[in-house]
């Protein structure tokens, strides 16, 4: 175990944060492979999969409105279920869990931090992309590949629905400014981008920062 320190510091949860189509799942998959290669027991928990299992794949953009109380409660519920599964997996020997979701509000992130308190360390990894060409490409790829649109026969209608969903997220989005975090800003555009870190220390978090600096070239 190369994560010395208090018991909760020996287990690490990487919580992805970001608007849809910002490369969170791509980042999660790359981190999972890298950490496993380093020899750390790592597992990727995709909250979208939990949502689809519990609520189906035919949710329209309205389900993601910030003022849709039932939708917000349903999405928080599946995020908590994923976190509970992750913590149970850690109790059985898992070391690094990756929570892949938008996690776009402080209240959601506070819920996850409260669940993790005394059990593991949390690092937020926020992916930010301001390049409209990259976003348009990512949106169309997302609609093409996401199970949410598997039954949608009109591709352009799917794109419009996804953009509407994205607009709802943008209205309530709160950038990370709490806890330990790494911000990846325009790093998937191929133009260098910027990495911001706050309160990051320890062997494994340091390796993660090192990896993310070069992730766009891997």
Could you give the domains of the chain?
12-214 (3.40.50.300)
| Whether 100 contacts 49, CB under 8 Å | no
- Lateral strand order in the sheet of 181-185: 42-46, 96-100, 12-17, 121-128, 181-185, 194-198
Scan for tokens 């309205």, then name that residue: 62
Confidence of residue 173 (pLDDT cuts 50, 70, 90): very high
- Residue 186 has which token pair? 């325009």
* CA geometry: angle 196, 76, 147, nearest 5 deg: 85
Q: What is the pLDDT of residue 202?
A: 87
Scan for tokens 């599964």, then name that residue: 85
pTM of this prediction exceeds 0.95 = no
Q: What is the pLDDT of residue 193?
A: 80
CA 22 to chain centre: 10
Closest CA to 126 of 78, 177, 90: 177
Question: Alpha-carbon distance 208 to 15, whole Å?
Answer: 13
Q: What is the pLDDT of residue 214?
A: 78
User: Over the stretch 54-106, which tens digit does the pLDDT of each residue have?
Assistant: 998 888 899 999 999 999 999 999 999 999 999 999 999 999 999 999 999 99
């Amino acid at each position: 175990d190369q994560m010395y320190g208090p018991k909760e510091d020996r287990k690490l949860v990487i919580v992805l944060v970001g608007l849809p189509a910002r490369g969170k799942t791509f980042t999660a998959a790359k981190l999972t492979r890298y950490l496993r290669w380093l020899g750390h027991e790592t597992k990727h928990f995709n909250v979208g999969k939990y949502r689809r299992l519990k609520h189906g794949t035919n949710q329209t953009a309205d389900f993601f409105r910030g003022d849709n109380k039932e939708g917000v409660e349903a999405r928080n519920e599946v995020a908590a279920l994923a976190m509970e599964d992750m913590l149970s997996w850690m109790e059985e020997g898992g070391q690094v869990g990756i929570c892949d979701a938008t996690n776009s509000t402080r209240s959601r992130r506070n819920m996850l931090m409260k669940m993790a308190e005394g059990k593991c360390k949390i690092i937020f990894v926020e992916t930010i992309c301001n390049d409209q060409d990259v976003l348009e490409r990512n949106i169309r790829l997302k609609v093409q590949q996401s199970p949410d649109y598997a039954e949608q026969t009109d591709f352009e209608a799917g794109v419009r629905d996804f953009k509407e969903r994205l607009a709802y997220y943008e209205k309530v989005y709160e950038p990370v400014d709490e806890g330990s975090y790494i911000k990846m800003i325009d790093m998937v555009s191929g133009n260098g981008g910027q990495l911001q870190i706050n309160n990051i220390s320890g062997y494994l978090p340091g390796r993660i920062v090192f990896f993310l600096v070069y992730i766009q070239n891997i």
